[in-house]
Amino acid sequence: MSRESSGDDHFDLESQSHLLVKDGGDNGTTSTSGPSHRWRSIIIILHVRQAFISSARNKSLAVDGIEVVPPPPSIATSNTGGDGDGLNVELAIISTSPEVSLEVQSDGADESNKCNKELQNTEIARIVKAKDLNSLREFGGVQGFAEALDTDLENGLANDEDDICCRRLTCPQSETKPPQEGFFHILWNVCNKYLIFLLLLCAVLSIVFGILEEGLHTGWYEGAFIICAIIVLVSVPMIREYWYSWYQPRRKKLSKNREIAVHVFRGGSQHQISISNVVSGDIIWLKKGDQIPADGLFISGESLKSDDELESTIDDQNPFMCYGAKVINGEGKMLVVSIGKDTVWGEMMSNVINASNPLQVQLDQLNSCIQIIGVLITIIILVVLFLRFEFNKGSAGSVIPDLKAKSAAIKEFIDAIYKIVKKPKGKTNLLTSLTIILVGIAEGLPLMVTLALNYWNKKALSGKATTQDFLACITMGSVTTICTDKTCGLNLNQSEVDMLYISGQFFNNESAIAPNVIEALCKGIATPILGLKRPSSSMEDSLLSWASLKLGLKLDILQQECIIVEVKELNFEEEGCGVLMRKDGESVNSSYWKGSASTILAMCSSYYSSEGAMNVIDEQKRVFFEQVIADMQGKHLKTIAFGYKQTDIATLEETGLILLGLLGLKNSFRKSMEDCIGAGVNIKLVSGCDASELKSIALECGLNIPNSDSVVLGENFRNSTHEVRMEMVDQICVMASSLPSDKLLLVKCLKEKGQIVAMVGARTDETPALKEANVGITMGSGSTEMARESSNIIIWNGDFNSLFTIMKCGRCAYENIQKFIQLEFTVTIAWVLINIVTTIYFGDVPITTIQYFYVCFIVAVPGGLALLMEPPTKTLMKKSPIRSINSPITRTMWRNIVPQALYQAAILVTFRFIGQAVLDTTQKVSNNMIFNSFVLCQVFNWFNARELERKNVFKGIHRNCWFWMAMVGTIVLLALYTKIANILASSARLNPEQWAFCFLIGAVSWVIDWAVKSTSDFIADRFHCSNIGSNGMTSSPSSESLINLESPLMSNSSL
């Protein structure tokens, strides 16, 4: 049977197929409201649209050689609803049975279905991201979402591999496992450098040329020396890379997220799968300790709570669940709506730019310069090898004799080159010197920087914090802005006792107080806290800690002896608490009151003196106490008073008390904030709270809010143009009603302005902002696990003062690294100058290879470590933050380096020329004095390097015992080296006068340093005065022209 295809495609809506529309109700009426009605209406429209698209695109088909045209569908609709306003329908398509039938796939229908599905999923994801409860209910609640995602709330997805695979391809997981860097990968990265390649070439040529010139017995020595240098240049970076990878457990932790197991319902049964295999529509079973694997909706459960929100209870009124949060209580089921990059967390993370650490950028720039210097030195080594080979070939008469016909100037030039490149016996030749310098520069500095960072990381953290980034602590020294939320785990009410006032005087030594007053004061502090059935506040904890430390309070003994009879708390305005108690076995009751000083003072009629005598409070004395309280409050101290009274009645009395004393508590959090502001760091309070509440908190913390522009709403900031935001960002002190995305946007804008940003966060939705910031910080157990894993520093005690300590140590570490760089560059430049000049004139250098190794050793190890462990100075945190745009080697450092290097080179080269004649010594004695003088110049230069700016290089030197140990140890080792060299190598011994001359040469470096800094100060003062005269006003010269990158102009007061 066949059917010829006609030229006209007709669409028979009555005879071919029909659409059955059934009444959804039992009584013949149709429900015209509810999400099911809307959803089925949409299905009808989509099916009709797809049917027409399919009909329009059908083509002629051939079956067994017979051309067949499939019959187009016929669509009929009926409505049995009562009011005709809506449709509650059941859909079915029934085809006629043609003589030849064939199911035809329609690409147009598939594309249309896919497009509609994507739009549907986008709308579902939007509702969950916005936590729009009204839209969720209009959609039909969780059941409506389940129908849209083709899943069953009880049985889950059908256990169909094709469907699961299709869902996984539609929305893949966003997390990718970072590649594992193994041994050979790191080895290849370290070796894949021009420097290593050129050195290998030098080693091969040196061995070949050496064997050709000197034979197999000794010709390979220099080549082997270069190979040893290559081994050092390869092995040290590899060790450092492994150290860095070990120091960053965060990357390893995050990579394990893909291996977390979750429980899903598929096909009516429960399965355990990896979190990476979760797809949209899955039904997840969650219990305490589980991580929420995706964005979704709460289905059912009992007491389900997560650690992601302040209102963490998840129920029908708060059904939205976000990826990354952790279940802290209860159990329940959730419907997966979005996974991977489509989650709230994934969408924000896609906007995160993982910029390089500012300090890492600086070190990379410095390392690039070192690599360039290394390549140039290696090229020079190659040239030396070729020239030496040519000169040795021409020594028989092919090169030097030709010079007779040349001019005298050319002959002298060739002679100088010959002296440079020739290989003297028993001395340090140019090739060896260049190789040693290359190793010292290329790896000496990075090694010491690594040691310094490791030391100061331990010093800064002190067991109170953990760093997950090796450079995090030192980066804190560069931070210019800290963004924090009031709910990020910070203890805003941290306090400590600052003053104790009893009977007209303040006490620092509690031993001067009578024992009965101390006993009563201890009970006054402890019993109100013991009588309350609630957990103690941070202020009460600090009071107990102070009383235990200063007054000898034994809280456990007091708990055993005392019987609490009555407890009473005053109202919120009066801020007080009273306890009636008696000792076990006694009948006398004692009333103890603690609270606001003005409230307790009003209850008192007498007071204790420090000697234990009781005195009456008259009107004049009461006014005096009120003035003391006002003075303490004027110093931003929270003033607490303690009252006491013994009575025979079992009633807590509020009058006739004895005033025990006044305590002034300072807010340590406020003090830490003020310290940060004093260090040039801006604090921005960013939270979801309303503006009035957040502004009051900011003022309480000591933040300065100069005008109304300093307080903005997150919505206004978010909706502003980029140009307006960039104008607003520096003025913002408080951002209220802000979303997590607003925090991320704020951090990005601050970084774009050139700020170094530290972000303090606690919740999972803040992890993008934590990762975007230069330093991400979380505070202790109050933060979520994912927030802690995404941060660089975790402060476990939630103390903001710990953050200030880390910042101070970071600045100190950076400054100490600069000191070491100054010392390293000074000795290197001086040695190069000495090498070049003496080699040109004499054909060798006065210092042997072993002696130069010794110089490098004392500069890098004892001297370097002594400088790197210099403690922070009192003025360090009064400077501005370190600017990340500058090089670690500042103009101030070059000002210090160049004169010292020129002095050392000039004095020692001069001594090489005339020292033997002036002092009437032998050549061996002269060379030995040059070596000792060079070493002592470095030792005395340690003092100069301690202060990059100030002239008083001895200030605070007593605080660094390592410095004195390094200096004494180096001088002792120098004397031992000279003695051993005299025995083993027959080098010359020095008499006391010659030793004194060497010390004098070294000590002159102090004079050079003082003169250079004094001259710099004089020029700065003259420049400053000229600006005043020309402009009629005071203006500061550029800090970059004369000083360190973060320091003010030096003054004479620094002496």
Which letter does DSSP use for residue 537 in this model? P
- Residue 488: band (very low, low, confident or very high) from pLDDT cuts 50, 70, 90: low
Instruction: Please name which of 877, 898, 803 lies closest in space to residue 1047, comparing C-alpha atoms.
Output: 877
Mark whether 83 is an active-site residue: no
Q: Are 155 and 265 in contact (CB under 8 A)?
A: yes
How many whole angstroms separate alpha carbon 785 and alpha carbon 763? 9
How many whole angstroms separate alpha carbon 428 and alpha carbon 521? 77
Chain center to CA of 348: 19
Give the model's pLDDT for residue 798: 73
Q: Is the pLDDT assigned to residue 451 strictly greater than 70?
A: yes
Q: Is the pLDDT assigned to residue 542 strictly greater than 80?
A: no
CATH 3.40.1110.10 positions along the chain are: 495-667
Q: pTM of this prediction? A: 0.68
Give the model's pLDDT for residue 1055: 28
- With pLDDT > 90 as the criterion, what percentage of the chain qualifies? 8
Q: Is the pLDDT assigned to residue 382 strictly greater than 70?
A: no
Instruction: Please name which of 699, 692, 744 lies closest in space to residue 713, comparing C-alpha atoms.
Output: 692
The CATH-assigned architecture of domain 255-349 is Distorted Sandwich (2.70)
Q: pLDDT (tens digit, 9 = 90+) per residue, 948-974?
A: 888 888 888 877 888 888 888 888 888
Q: Two tokens at 879?
A: 């400077």
Give the model's pLDDT for residue 233: 73
Q: Is the pLDDT assigned to residue 273 strictly greater than 80?
A: yes
Q: Are 933 and 831 in contact (CB under 8 A)?
A: no
How many whole angstroms separate alpha carbon 887 and alpha carbon 1045? 9
Give the model's pLDDT for residue 57: 43
Hunting for tokens 């796939």 — which residue is that?
Answer: 105
More confident residue, 647 or 383: 647
CATH 2.70.150.10 positions along the chain are: 255-349
Of the listed ranges 544-553, 940-949, 968-977, the least confidently predicted one is: 544-553
CATH 3.40.50.1000 positions along the chain are: 466-487+687-798
How many whole angstroms separate alpha carbon 661 and alpha carbon 607? 8
Q: What type of residue sits at position 1031?
A: N
Of the listed ranges 138-152, 430-444, 772-786, the least confidently predicted one is: 430-444
Q: Stretch 460-472: mean pLDDT, rounded? A: 80
Half-sphere exposure of 717 (CA within 13 A, CB side): 32
More confident residue, 700 or 39: 700
- Residue 564: band (very low, low, confident or very high) from pLDDT cuts 50, 70, 90: confident
More confident residue, 871 or 490: 871
- Residue 550: band (very low, low, confident or very high) from pLDDT cuts 50, 70, 90: confident
CATH 1.20.1110.10 positions along the chain are: 822-1042
Q: Is the pLDDT assigned to residue 333 strictly greater than 70?
A: yes
Taking domain 495-667, whether its CATH number is 3.40.1110.10 is answered by yes
- With pLDDT > 70 as the criterion, what percentage of the chain qualifies? 67
Of the listed ranges 134-138, 224-228, 360-364, 1039-1043, the least confidently predicted one is: 1039-1043
Q: Is the pLDDT assigned to residue 289 strictly greater than 90?
A: no
- Residue 489: band (very low, low, confident or very high) from pLDDT cuts 50, 70, 90: low
Choose, from 307, 342, 469, 485, the residue flagged as catalytic. 485
Of the listed ranges 374-378, 462-466, 945-949, the least confidently predicted one is: 374-378
The mean pLDDT value of the chain amounts to 74
Q: Is the pLDDT assigned to residue 928 strictly greater than 80?
A: yes
CATH tag, 822-1042: 1.20.1110.10
Q: Is the pLDDT assigned to residue 544 strictly greater than 70?
A: yes
Q: Which residues contact 472 (CB under 8 A, 6 or more apart)?
A: 775, 792, 793
- What is the 3-state secondary structure of 106-129? CHHHHHHHHHHHHHHHHHHHHHHH
Q: pLDDT (tens digit, 9 = 90+) per residue, 753-812?
A: 888 999 998 888 888 889 889 899 988 766 777 888 888 888 887 777 888 888 888 889
Q: Is the pLDDT assigned to residue 883 strictly greater than 60?
A: yes
Q: Is the pLDDT assigned to residue 1 strictly greater than 70?
A: no
Give the model's pLDDT for residue 247: 53
Helices 800-842 + 849-858 axis angle, to 10: 160
More confident residue, 539 or 870: 870
CATH topology of domain 466-487+687-798: Rossmann fold (3.40.50)
Contacts of residues 755-758 at CB distance under 8 Å and 24 or more positions apart, as own/partner, are: 755/480, 755/481, 755/682, 756/358, 756/475, 756/478, 756/479, 756/480, 756/481, 756/881, 756/884, 757/479, 757/480, 757/481, 757/482, 757/483, 758/476, 758/479, 758/481, 758/482, 758/483, 758/803
E strand or H helix at 670: helix 668-678
Q: Is the pLDDT assigned to residue 419 strictly greater than 60?
A: no
Q: Is the pLDDT assigned to residue 510 strictly greater than 60?
A: yes
Q: What type of residue sits at position 632?
A: M
Q: Stretch 62-75: mean pLDDT, rounded? A: 41
Q: Stretch 17-28: mean pLDDT, rounded? A: 39
